[in-house]
Amino acid sequence: MAPSHALRCCKRALNWIPVLFINLVVGWSYYAYVVELCVYTIPNNPERISYLVLFHIFFTMFIWSYWKTIWSKPESPSKAFCLPRAEKELFEREERAETQQEILKKVAKNLPVYTRTAGGAVRYCDHCQVIKPDRCHHCSTCEMCVLKMDHHCPWVNNCVGFSNYKYFVLFLTYAALYCVVICATVIQYFLKFWTKVLPDTHAKFHVLFLFFVAALFFVSVLSLLGYHLWLVGKNRTTIEAFRAPVFANGPEKNGFSLGFKRNAAEVFGDQGKYWMFPVSSNLGDGHSFVTRLVHIDPERANGILQQNGKSLADGKPDPCVHGNNIQHTADDSKENIDGGQTDSVKVENEQ
């Protein structure tokens, strides 16, 4: 047990190396730009001040969004998606996979879950002992199920998912803009040092290298940013881009796409004034999603989750507590608890 715990601690420590590397590069770029360029190289105050103001605006937004991505804890499924005590005991005693699936299907009937495995089975995590909500996946690095998981990013040492995907996209955006500001303002002094118009000083190395590093990072970040903006427009995660989610009628890569405007609103929110700031404004709670194939009324989804111990208005969901005794109402048709209305299949053309 002790060696295993020690290895786990070492692994967690090593996971911070990419984050340390990024922070060292950013810290050096700050020194090179502010001190070596603005203080020692730029000759006049108006240019120096204007560069410093512009630089610090994008530097602040870049660091803000980056650390919000790092420190935003991934959200896991609420206890409503755990098996009730009786069903959990039956599930653990049962050895036949077919019977286990019947138990899972009985519980899943009362949850807003519409995606299945490639074989049509209910998606269940044996590690977390929870029925996976739509778009939820288990991260082996974080050792937990993550709502609307996109991927695990080593550069932020965190899972990118429902709780921080907006911050991650903004991090890429401001990282690209940070590099653009550096390249655009440094290039004239880069050329002057390169052509020996300016004398060789200790600032030369920093200015030359700063331009090369910023240009290199810009190219790499821009490609990643473009890919994730495309994913936002399609309302897909990285996982769904490689493996289409499976619904009752089979795989459908555009199953969650509702048109560009609504897709963007799911990530950034419906109030444009918050879009460019790394503050929480995304829509939903990460447990249920409106799809092109199954129309889910938000009030109805709230009613289902309230029935099972979770409300959309509760804020952050409670983690799954093993051995809970939440009662799931048997409802073979997933009827609306208020009016007896069943789910309607609704296929829409993507805008």
- Our separate counts of H helices and E strands in the chain read 10, 8
Name the one residue in this structure whose structure tokens are 């007896």: 340
Beta bridge partners of 82: 130
- Per annotation, catalytic residue among 136, 139, 142, 153: 153
| 165-194 and 202-234 helices, crossing angle to 10° | 150
| 202-234 and 17-31 helices, crossing angle to 10° | 130
For residue 178, what are its two tokens?
A: 């940070």
| Alpha-helical runs (H) found in the chain | 2-14, 17-31, 45-71, 85-93, 97-108, 165-194, 202-234, 238-242, 260-268, 298-307
Task: Output the CA–CA distances (angstroms, integers) from residue 182 to 37, 52, 155, 277, 279, in the order listed.
Answer: 10, 11, 21, 21, 26
139 is catalytic: no
As annotated, the active-site residues are: 153
